[in-house]
Amino acid sequence: MIINENYTKLPGSYLFSDIAKKVNEFKSSHPEANIIRLGIGDVTKPLPPAVIEAMHKAVDEMGDASTFRGYGPEQGYDFLVNAIVENDYKIRGLDITADEVFVSDGSKSDTGNIGDILGLDNVVAITDPVYPVYVDTNAMAGRAGDLLANGKWSKLVYIPCTDENNFIPDLPKEKVDIIYLCYPNNPTGTTLTKAQLKVWVDYAAAHKALILFDSAYEAFITESDVPHSIYEIEGAKEVAIEFRSFSKTAGFTGTRCAYTVVPKALTGYTKSGEKVSLNKLWNRRHTTKFNGVPYIIQRAAEACYSEEGKKQVKATIDYYLNNAKIIREALCAQGLNVYGGVNSPYIWVKTPKGMTSWNFFDYLLNELNIVGTPGVGFGPSGEGYLRLTAFGTLENTKEAVERLKKIS
Ligand code: MLT
């Protein structure tokens, strides 16, 4: 038996596992430390009451033979898919149909698994820094080449997003076939305007490229010129797949529910140039490798769209956005260069005094007992930055901000 050797090229562990290990080590040697975790983007607010109520009801249905459900449709139950179409697309005037929506257990899984239906010879572009799942899953598939000493994979095209270009990615100089875009961005918290996103949609159309648009943080958008969906851009249905999640929106990081939109107008090509529907391929993959999200969880997700659910979800988002503002303002007051945190739960800060990302991470952990995420963990262009999340409690956020005043 021969293993998939691409796995041997990967760094030892996934970024967030690496950080968790470091934090646990610190905790064992400093059991008295009151550590504030603003590292991984995991939420702290409980599920909204409307969601809990729907889950309880669904649990009862599962205990009654007349309402019990076994295998459901792999793509998701109609009640949830229709709620998604109505509330996330129709309401914005976007014509997405039920058979273009695939309910799943997460955008991490979907952005990782989408590679199953894409050829291995495609040239993949990522913005840098980037959510590590895009890179690692392409490395696993063999599309990334080899990891070089400079922290880059030999076959990936890196598109730097730093304060030098105001975090606006430039179009690649070489032709690329697959482009991962995440907006509002993880990790930098920055956004693209409609006009800036259109540049990418036009590029994809002109080069027969595919955009994988991760919109997991869409609910945090506060500014009017920031698109909530890539399908707000003309022509996007022909070139883009969109990933959305209930994780950060409604507290489903542990509950697991997300969805992916694969428009029927979207096609890829065989080597001989024949057009193939990506919707059909993804449907084939999804129905073969996935058994659907549990009924109880889909009812929970549906409840996010009820009148009460919407209000409660909005209150949660506002709570995190207030945390983001508190962190952002405190870091600015320290004279640091701060980005994100306006349309996003992530705050991206330039390290003080030219410290490396990991040195600043260690300083925050050891001296202030605050966990962040070192920017370089998201890619070479993240060096010299650190990410903080607004997903903590208000109390911890305020305490963290007090401690951050000690940065001199
Ligand atoms: C993050 O911290 O970047 C996210 O929590 C990761 C994820 O959503 O998988």
78-90 burial code (b ≥16 CB/10 A, e <16): eebbbbbbebbbe
pLDDT 10s digit of each residue in the chain, 408 long? 999 999 999 987 788 888 999 999 999 999 999 999 999 989 999 999 999 999 999 999 999 999 999 999 999 999 999 999 999 999 999 999 999 999 999 999 999 999 999 999 999 999 999 999 999 999 999 999 999 999 999 999 999 999 999 999 999 999 999 999 999 999 999 999 999 999 999 999 999 999 999 999 999 999 999 999 999 999 999 999 999 999 999 999 999 999 999 999 999 999 999 999 999 999 999 999 999 999 999 999 999 999 999 999 999 999 999 999 999 999 999 999 999 999 999 999 999 999 999 999 999 999 999 999 999 999 999 999 999 999 999 999 999 999 999 986
Specify the long-range contacts of residues 63-68, CB closer than 8 Å, at least 24 apart: none
Question: What backbone phi and psi angles, to 5 degrees, belong to 109?
Answer: -60, -45
Tokens of 216: 């997991």
Distance from the alpha carbon of residue 40 to the mean position of ligand 1, in angstroms: 6
Report the SS3 class of residue 360.
helix
Task: Dump the DSSP string for 66-127.
Answer: TT---S--TT--HHHHHHHIIIIIGGGT----GGGEEEES-HHHHHHHGGGGS-TT--EEEE
State the Cα–Cα distance between residues 369 and 373, nearest whole angstrom.
Answer: 13
Q: Which residue ranges have their beta carbon within 6 Å of ligand 1?
A: 40-42, 108, 131, 186
- Cα 121 from chain centroid (whole Å): 25
Q: What is the number of the ligand 1 atom nearest to the C-alpha of 39?
A: 2
H or E element in which residue 370 lies: strand 370-371
> Residue 408: what pLDDT?
67
For position 276, what pLDDT does the model report?
Answer: 98
Q: The pTM is what?
A: 0.97
Q: Which pLDDT belongs to residue 14?
A: 81
Percentages (nearest 5) of helix, strand, coil residues in the chain: 45, 15, 40
DSSP string, 198-264: HHHHHHHHHHT-EEEEE-TTGGG--STTS-SSGGGSTTGGGTEEEEEESHHHHT-TTT--EEEE--T
Distance 41 CA to ligand 1 centre (A): 5
Distance 302 CA to ligand 1 centre (A): 23
Residue 18, pLDDT score: 85
- Residue whose Cα lies nearest atom 3 of ligand 1: it is 41
Ligand 1 centre to CA of 189 (Å) is: 12
* Rounded distance between C-alpha atoms, residue 90 and residue 250, angstroms: 20
